[in-house]
Amino acid sequence: MKMKKLNIYIIGLLTLMLCGIQSCALESEVFDEITPSIYPQTERDVRDLVTGNAYSPFQNYDYGGLYNVANGVMLISDMATEYGFCSWGGWIWEPLEFARWTPSDEDRIAYPWTNYLKGISKMTLTIDRITNVNMNKDLLNQYIAELRCARGFLAFLLYDLYGPIIVADLETLKNAEDEIILPRLSEEETHNFIVTELTEAAKVLPYSYDKSSSDYGRFTKGLCHMVLLKFYMQTKQWDKAITEARELQKPEYKYALVTDKGAERSAYANIFTYANEKNSETIWSVNCLTGYQVHLWYPHVMASDAGRFDGGWGGYKMTWKFFKTYEDGDERKQTIISEYDTWEGTTLNETNKGVGSNSLQDGVIPLKYKIESNNAGNQCQTDWIVYRYADVLTLLAEAIVREGNTVTTEAINLLNQVRTRAGLTAYTASSFSSARDFLDKLLIERAHEFYFEGCRRQDLIRDGSYVATMKQKCTDYGQVSIINENYHRFPIPESAIIAGQGIIKQNPGY
């Protein structure tokens, strides 16, 4: 059995030791039952405690974790774009599909805030608990760096969706004998927290892990700089984004595009296979393995009557309109199902779409991950990729053009690395009439490359075209549009505002 996977230990002691913020209020800890003098004491104690608190938020296990495929950050981000659609419809999905969410949408819209904001407090308390353990200092510093990376990473994900967050300092957490309601940080304070945590963690963590390492899946310097790159792009600090992207190009990280096809029809398809897990393009992924954690992408996208998969629910689709924006010969289309034979022998395609969720009526099937013979029923144990090197190259190209407002040879070459990997003709300088034309072509290239990888909403917001794009989607479907610039951020859950007693402020426009 190959050595792999970061095991997320669920430690029973944590429920007594680590409380953190719950519904934006602080709860007291039971110091007289479990204290740092009892636990943790050994290196194994520390490793387990760090693994349980630094990594548990970032899972994709059935319906748990920030990357689960039902209400995780990637899914809700992509459903809230022009290509996302769910055939189940109704009050849960239509607010996402047509940007009509409200503070009372406490299911998918609220999920990351409600369930994971308290994780930052747990990480802070864990740093305090392990700081004085008698163990190898270099290893201890690495574990502390993993926790700081986790704090910055989680803070960025929440900031991207909701804006400024709530962060409790250690003194408040350790002396929370009475309920204390904390306000959200300011924009500047949130920015400083994210940058400081990721920058300090990057100073200590290794560049990356070899795929044969038992530590593969733990946080790295590469992940820190990737999240910083994303942060600087979203805050339009182009010069700093360029610095982060160039950092990730250094040979020490060993990142490179997947260009070999393996046993697949294309290099792109080969990225998302079990055989090619831990490939050189992956900067960080959620490690999956039957018995530890598995994800449910297949049943959410596949129809129950599709001949190549038994048991799908036919939910998530890519709209036909968006699918038609792919160029002829684009090998990325090989991972999208636009035609299939049902168990009854009927061929469904654009001409004969069928009706209902088990059909192509609402769009094509964004399969992406190869259906493998070693999956357990509808559970997939192929690692769920969060960040890829292709993202770095295309973001660097974008930042270069946005900073200088001119199309450079370097930017074209960076874009072409990803474009030609998909089997398309390379762009030349004459392909672009202006910097704006380059950005338009780059953004659609990124949309084709990173479908259902959580990038499109960020890209459109950064570009300033999110509102217009979603208004057009509403028009296309005959839906009422209420979106405006305030919808760049999701609302803080209504329950949190009520519990906040006027101290926790709602985002503008809600």
SS (H, E, C) 187-231: HHHHHHHHHHHHHHHHCCCCCCCCCCCCCECECCHHHHHHHHHHH
Burial 311-349 (b: 16+ CB within 10 A, else e): ebbbbbbbbbebbeebeeebbbbebbbbebebeeeeebe
3-state secondary structure of 403: helix
Instruction: Tell me what pLDDT residue 357 has.
Output: 85
Q: Report yes or no: 156 and 94 within 8 Å, Cβ to Cβ.
A: no
Q: How far apart are CA 275 and CA 262, in angstroms?
A: 9
Instruction: Say what the pLDDT of residue 493 is.
Output: 97
Dihedral of CA 331/334/336/338: which sign? positive
- Locate all alpha helices (DSSP H) within 89-182, ordered by sequence: 90-97, 111-116, 119-130, 137-162, 170-174
3-state secondary structure 40-70: CCCHHHHHHHHHHHHHHHHCCECCECCCCCC
Token pair 């009706």 is found at 355
Report how many helices (DSSP H) and strands (DSSP E) the chain contains, helices first: 20, 8
Torsion over CA: 365, 369, 372, 378 (sign): negative
The pair of structure tokens assigned to 302 is 């596949």
Question: In the 8-state DSSP scheme, what is residue 178?
Answer: S
Q: Is 299 helix (H, G, I), strand (E, B) or coil?
A: helix
Distance CA 78, CA 499 (A): 29
How far is Cα 5 from Cα 225, in angstroms, rounded to an integer? 22
- Amino acid at residue number 444: I
Considering the entire predicted model, what is its pTM? 0.94
Farthest CA pair distance, the chain = 72
- 318 by DSSP, 3-state: which? strand
Strands 84-86 vs 316-318: parallel, antiparallel or unpaired = antiparallel
| CA separation for the pair 297, 72 (Å, rounded) | 12
Tokens standing for residue 445? 């290239």
CA–CA gap between residue 363 and residue 474 (Å, rounded) = 16
Q: What is the pLDDT of residue 107?
A: 86
For residue 376, the cross-strand partners are 379
pLDDT value of residue 15 = 33
Question: What are residue 304's phi and psi, to 5 degrees?
Answer: -70, -20
Q: Residue 510: CA atoms inside 13 Å, Cβ hemisphere, count?
A: 21
Side chain identity, residue 62: D
The CA angle 507-159-98, to the nearest 5 degrees, is: 60
Give the three-class secondary structure for 84: strand
- Residues across the chain: 510
Helix (H, G, I), strand (E, B), or coil: what is residue 448? helix
φ and ψ at residue 126, rounded to 5 degrees: -65, -40
pLDDT for residue 33: 53
CB 108 within 8 A of CB 102: no
Output the tens digit of pLDDT for each of the chain's 510 residues: 333 455 443 333 333 333 333 333 333 344 445 566 789 999 999 999 999 999 999 999 999 999 999 999 999 999 999 999 999 998 889 999 999 999 999 889 999 999 999 999 999 999 999 999 999 999 999 999 999 999 999 999 999 999 999 999 999 998 876 678 999 999 999 999 999 999 999 999 999 999 999 999 999 999 999 999 999 999 999 999 999 999 999 999 999 999 999 999 999 999 999 999 999 999 999 999 988 899 999 999 999 888 666 678 999 999 999 999 999 999 999 999 999 999 888 999 999 999 988 899 999 999 999 998 877 778 899 999 999 999 999 999 999 999 999 999 999 999 999 999 999 999 999 999 999 999 999 999 999 999 999 999 999 999 999 999 999 999 999 999 999 999 999 999 999 999 999 999 999 999
| Pairwise CA distance, residues 273 & 257, whole Å | 15
